[in-house]
Chains A and B, each alone.
Chain A
């Protein structure tokens, strides 16, 4: 929890890189007057508006919803709009900002997320409904909803993806963000193709590539648990046929009311 009580000047050290001018990234310091409740994103706005218009970063919602402001803050991937400046400056009065690691830098803190989105689309993150769609609604039990582990609250910021050391070495790997989405679809009783999804993730670049380093959990600004999701997918991938049969049976009753306990 932040304790906003001091107004002071802090140093914001930003990794700069302009591919038209620079051969490699370098750090540049800016002095910012810290005000009450100021976030890292506010500090960046302050710098861009009053000191150096060339500082480049992504942002949109400013409320931790769009996921575009994810960056490396003091060596940790998180959202700039959600992080109070006072929590990061410490006794050195300094915060270091950089782009998300393991992704090509376009400029300053803007990275090329092509591989991120390619891997995301690879797992078909949309729901594949059964042929027999109920007239009114699908009925899911509380347990079934809970089993999704809040996976639907992922905002696709890329913090987990670019903190994953496997991704750092191998861009073929699906990545924790996409696997979390795949988990969500596989566990969703309305989804028609969990078997096919599990088969797709069963290869050398799928669920087994994860080394259980837990960096994704540490990085997720929404407190989600992609590692747990990957572990579950691994287990299900090994008993895919049985899982498919159970799903088929469940789908026959998806339109029926859930019996009260």
Chain B
């Protein structure tokens, strides 16, 4: 898939996940307290949502950065290397982030 398409699809996904994120985290229609947050973070459905959110942020940010950097003449010649670098950063950040989200457990 083209970088262009990846960026557009991740933007659409972000729109969805950001809306959820803003409602749940910043403007919740319910009283916010620490216990609620812990319960949410421990819920497997929320874990999946957060992992997908992380994935769309990473794809969007890295493809965007790649596009902007390769806009510059000199960087354009190294675009293969840059693409690989972005892919490696993306995979490492995703694995680390997803593992952290998945590993969360309620404190006993």
Q: Are B76 and A170 in contact (CB under 8 A)?
A: yes
Residue of A nearest to B74 (CB): A170
Taking residues whose C-beta sits less than 8 angstroms from the other chain, chain A's interface range is: 10 to 19
**List of 8 A-B pairs having minimum Cβ-Cβ separation, nearest first:** A208-B4, A169-B71, A170-B73, A169-B72, A172-B76, A170-B71, A170-B76, A204-B79
Chain B positions near chain A (C-beta within 8 angstroms)? 2-5, 70-73, 76, 79
Q: Which residues of A177-228 have CB atoms within 8 Å of chain B's CB atoms?
A: 202, 204-205, 208-209, 211
Chain A residues with Cβ below 8 Å from B71 are 166, 169-170, 209, 211
Q: Are B3 and A172 in contact (CB under 8 A)?
A: no
Give complex CA distance A56, B5 in Å. 46
Give complex CA distance A143, B3 in Å. 33
Q: Are B4 and A171 in contact (CB under 8 A)?
A: no
Q: Which residues of A150-170 have CB atoms within 8 Å of chain B's CB atoms?
A: 166, 169-170
Given known A169-B71, A204-B70, A209-B71, contact A238–B76 (CB-CB < 8 A): no
A-B contact count (CB 8 A): 25
Q: Are B5 and A238 in contact (CB under 8 A)?
A: yes
Give complex CA distance A208, B5 in Å. 9
Q: Are B72 and A208 in contact (CB under 8 A)?
A: no
Residue of B nearest to A166 (CB): B71
Residue of A nearest to B5 (CB): A238
Q: Are A204 and B76 in contact (CB under 8 A)?
A: yes
CB of B68 to closest CB in A, whole Å: 9
CB of B65 to closest CB in A, whole Å: 14
Residue of B nearest to A209 (CB): B71
Give complex CA distance A169, B76 in Å. 10
CB of A102 to closest CB in B, whole Å: 11
CB<8 Å pairs between A and B, sample of 11: A170-B73, A170-B76, A171-B73, A172-B76, A204-B76, A204-B79, A205-B76, A208-B2, A208-B3, A208-B4, A211-B71
Residue of B nearest to A165 (CB): B71
Give complex CA distance A238, B71 in Å. 21
Chain B residues with Cβ below 8 Å from A208 are 2-4
CB of B96 to closest CB in A, whole Å: 29
CB of A58 to closest CB in B, whole Å: 26
CB of A195 to closest CB in B, whole Å: 17
Chain A residues with Cβ below 8 Å from B4 are 208, 234
CB of B2 to closest CB in A, whole Å: 6
Give complex CA distance A104, B89 in Å. 38
Apart from A170-B76, A202-B2, 7 more pairs, CB < 8 Å: A169-B72, A169-B73, A170-B71, A170-B72, A204-B70, A204-B76, A211-B71
